[in-house]
Every structure is written in C-alpha cells, then in structure tokens.
Structure 1
C-alpha cells in the first residue's frame, strides 16, 4: 500500500472557520476576522469565495463528541513518548477505546500518526453531504432556472411554486435553498452564472448583518476638522497625508506618505498584507526616520488598516487625523501622488512582488520630478533644505 498524503489546512478546522464567519456576521471586516484565527487576509478572502459568501453549517454548536485538533496533537506527542492507550486516554480525558480507534483509523502508512494528517482524514470521513433537492429533482431545477432567467427573485420563485403545484411538495423549495444552490459550489445544483439574474448580480453572497450592526471603522478617531490650521495652508512643513494603493483582488497593498508642503513621498513596504498590525509596524518605522521638525501631523482615510492609530501616534510621536467618509479631496496631495504611482504600480497587479528596494527607487524617482505647484523645483530639493536646517 502506497503512502497516503493528506493535505491539512485551515479549511479542515470547522472550529476556526466558524469563528471567522461569526465575526463577519457580527460586522467585522475580513482583516479583523482573520486576526482572530491567525491567518492572512488573502486566506479570509478565499474562505468567502469558496463558500460563495454563505456561512457553512458544519462546525456550528460542536458538542465535544469529536476529537479536537489540540487533542490530536497531544495524542501524537504522547504516542511518540511510548505511553499506553489508557495513559493517553487519561491525559486527554477520553476512553482508551476512543484512542485506539483514533490511532487505527487515522494512521498513515509510511508516516504514522500525525495530528495534521489525522485531523484532515477525520474531516474528510465525517463529510456526509446530503444531495441537494435541486440536484436530484431535474424537473424542479429546470423550473427554477427558467424563472431565474425571467429575473424572478428566489422568494418569488418559492412562493409561485406553491401556487402552481399546491399538491406536490416535491416541487416546493425554500428561497434559502435556491440561494445556497447558487452560491455554494459544493452543492453543484445551479450554475453560479445564474446569479447575474438576481437583483444584486453578486457572484458572492454577503454575510447578512442587521441595520446598524457594522461597527465604526476606527475607534475614537480624531476628525480632520480638528487638524491645526497651519496644516491647511501648507506654510509649515511636517504635515503628511497617507493612504494605501491596493493590488489585484484587494490582496496586496503599498502604503503612501506625502508631505503637504514639499510633495516629498515615502512608500511603505507591506509584502505580507495590510492588517492593522502590519501597517502599524511599517508606518511607525517609516515616520521615525524623519526628524522631529517634520513630524507634526498625518491625515489618513478611514481604512481599517489604521485600527491601531493610537499606538502609531505615540510610538512615532505624530498627531493623526482622519478624513470624512468618501472625501478623497481632503487628501488631495496624496490622491494626486497615488495617481502618479500607478505609472509604476498599475491597477490589477500583485503589489507584493515589489521589494523594499523597488519602492525606494520609485520614491526617489518621483521625488526627483520637477512640479508645477512648486514652481518646477523638485520635492527632493525642498526636503533637503529642511533637513539641513
């Protein structure tokens, strides 16, 4: 018998997946939900896509009957130490027969018993998908597909089926079943391209939220209206504007900082994503390269990447303010600079492939361009004068 290789990933951890989905339905953004399960925003985005935006039932209200990943890790460790089945069972709070069955079922020839392989095998074995009604009932599926093509909503289709087939329960279906058959690929009942006939036309279903459930993006943020007047007229250097330019699929980003008086630009290297932790570290380190005289204020958009703005403000010794929603003109210098940067980092490309050296080179070239607003002097010429003072 050959060696069996079982792929372990977060997708075989319903306990973690349900934490992610619970936070999404509570109003969190992807970047916040993935922080709780110690994974990347890229993975969170994939979780949503694979599920079609529909929270899976599997893993909800776990009763403790099934072994957890932590228990399997302990079993593997104790097994290597040579402990008996009864000793292992006592250590993890399970019977010896449970341990025996676990080791027998999830032992991989040529590898032995490992927690990752065992958990993946158990996850695959426990899957007992019930055939979707729209998959097995071809007459019903054809009727639903025709009505979707007429732009009927799932609720209208479900209601009309009861009117047209009052005595045939086999031709009845709930709106939720139609939605799940459209969005959940594993059901394989309805083609996902039929979602284009829905009113929203979304290819991925958004987690449902109650009105007012979404929490504020930035805790205790200070509005731009409270920024010192000296920052508005650009007379005093040291006031900065910042934002992110986003890459393909919202999976990568580069941070941008522009000084309002000189147009001097600095770029933040974010190769591993743009969670609040990563942005905090990169932004703090970059600002701290500046002298105190050029660290007066920073104005940013209301993006969740600035969730730890208070820490940045303290560590980098700079005041931070936030623009009003949907008001990019309040960071006009930064917006214009981001437009110039798209010459180097086109939209729809992966921005994580660029090294820190690449970003420094782009910033240097941009700062060496003469600007009309600066009477055709260069940002680098103006900032050097300030640094020499």
Structure 2
C-alpha cells in the first residue's frame, strides 16, 4: 500500500499505470546500439506496439527541430514508415493550426478570463478531496469493492457511496445528439450564432460549416425571434419539438402498463420476468410489451421515466444505482481469490500414464456403461423368452 501511494503521488509526468521509465530507458539503450525493434522490445519486456509508439513520440520530438532525412537516419526508419509518419505529422500540425485560427476567428480567446482563472487558487482541502476521489476510482476500477476501497483510503463507506451515486448520475446525463448530416446539430447552431456576432455573411457561414447558404437562411428565418435575435439552444429545442415523432416514455404514456409493472415489482418480480409475462399474456398488444432495460432505466435514473425511485428496493439486487460492468477490474464479476492455475498442475499429469488424465476417459466410460446396459437388456430378453 505504501509503495502504491508513493508511485501514485510521484509527479514525474508519467501516468502511474504506464510502463516504468527504466523499462523505456532499457529499450532505447538496446535500440540505439543497433538492435532491431523486435529484439529491443523483447529485451525490455514490452510489446511491439509499445515500441512503435515510443518511436513515433521520439519522431515527433526530433521532427520539430530537424529535417526528415536526419530524423529518419537517427531512428533507422524504413522509407515507407518514414513517409507515412511524415504525412501524419504534417496532418496533425495542419489540424492544430486550423484549430488555433478558428478559435481566433470566433473570438473565444478571452485573455482577461484566462488571467482570472489562472489567478484562482485551489484550497488544500479541495486538493486532498480530489486526490482521494482519484485514488478511490483507481481502486474500484482495479476490482476492489466499495468497502475495501474506503477502508484502504481511510474513508467512510457513506463517502464512497456518495461518489458512486454522483458518477452514476453523471454517466446518465444526456449529451445532445449530433446531427447525422441531414439536420443541423447543436454545435453547428452555436457556431452560426458566433459567426453572426462577427458579422459574417450567410455564404461565409455556409463555407465554414460546409452547408448551403440556403440552409443557413432557412434556419435563421425559422428560429429568429421578433427582435431578429438568434439563440442556438432555443433553436435546437424548437427543432427537436417540431420533428415528426416527439413521443413520451412508454411507462409514462401507458397508465395500464405502468400499473402492471408497479404491481409486479411490489411482488419482487425481476424485470426479465415481467417482460416475459407481458409477452405471454398480451401477445397481440404491442403497447403492453417492453424490454427489461426500460424498467431498469425507469427505476434507477431520475429522468421521469414513469416509475418512482421508491421502487428501486423492490428490485432483487436492492441497489439504487446501476452497477456497470466497467466498475469491476476484468468486467466479468468478482475474481476468485487464491485460485490454482492450470499451469501449476503436477508434471505427472502430462505423461498421461494414469486413467483420468486424458480427454477420452469420459467417452470410454460412457461407452462401457452403455455396452453393459445393452448386455443386461439382452440377458433379460433371453430369460423372458
């Protein structure tokens, strides 16, 4: 535990789950001595993908101040690899410059706001809370339970439960769906509003967004208010309401279905049982059928799905938040402790000199048992005759 905390608190610019700096140094020592990439990675105990990633990072670092031929010679790159990395480096450089130019044009660089934020000081208490929260989620993602993580960090279980509830609510926050190309998205509407404040023409806005000027004109004609002002969030909300299928949740819309689900939950039926019973009881009424996920979402999330939070304890798990698979280390539930690996079995088993140490034993035993039953039946038939 002390070694883990020392490694986590060490601020050397590397992530605490990253490969150690000494391993990377061993790789570079071997590679710079003329060893091939495969042998250098094998000697350092890392994969070839990690070696290629280290090479590309060194390529970017050297390419910023040297020519392509010198970098290729120093890193001993193949012509095809050097050409592909040179093209990728130029593309990333162009994208970064375009982002800076766009940010400058949109006027989002507010130096006063940046200076005010930089002048803000973080209290030591908040720093300790943020560090404890980060450690807590590292332990939970590694496979520890809430009680184990809180005990290792000296926290109360109530504090850990509060962190889990906050993470569950944040993971269910609905992100505005970006347009698939046909309709304008919220991000595009915000960009239209920013460009209008910069007195850009409709054709200029269309070129910036990759849209036709007529699309921009129709958007402004539909969603400008009486004073000629355009609000992107209000326009996006109005557009979503004007679509053809604005519909409510199924449990909110159908009172009969909501009453049936609530009655079954009171009897401690699982959502899978409820949905299966509905499919058997009402096979020709699609309005009275739903999926188990609909019941879970309506019970566990505060998004007005039709069921109240009081029905959460009626679930068999008794949880009030969703337990996601990523919260366990491997994603396959609890890990067996102190298990014996198959590689640790006795060497005598590999010789296959005893019965029961090869795959055909079960098949042969079943065949002998079946043959004995056939012999017994034949003798019974002869005796009865």
TM-score class, shorter-chain normalisation, is: 0.3 to 0.5
TM (normalized to structure 2)? 0.36
Query: Structure 1 or 2: larger strand share?
Result: 1
TM (normalized to structure 1)? 0.36
Higher RCO (CA 8 Å, separation ≥ 6 residues): 1
Query: Structure 1 or 2: larger helix share?
Result: 2
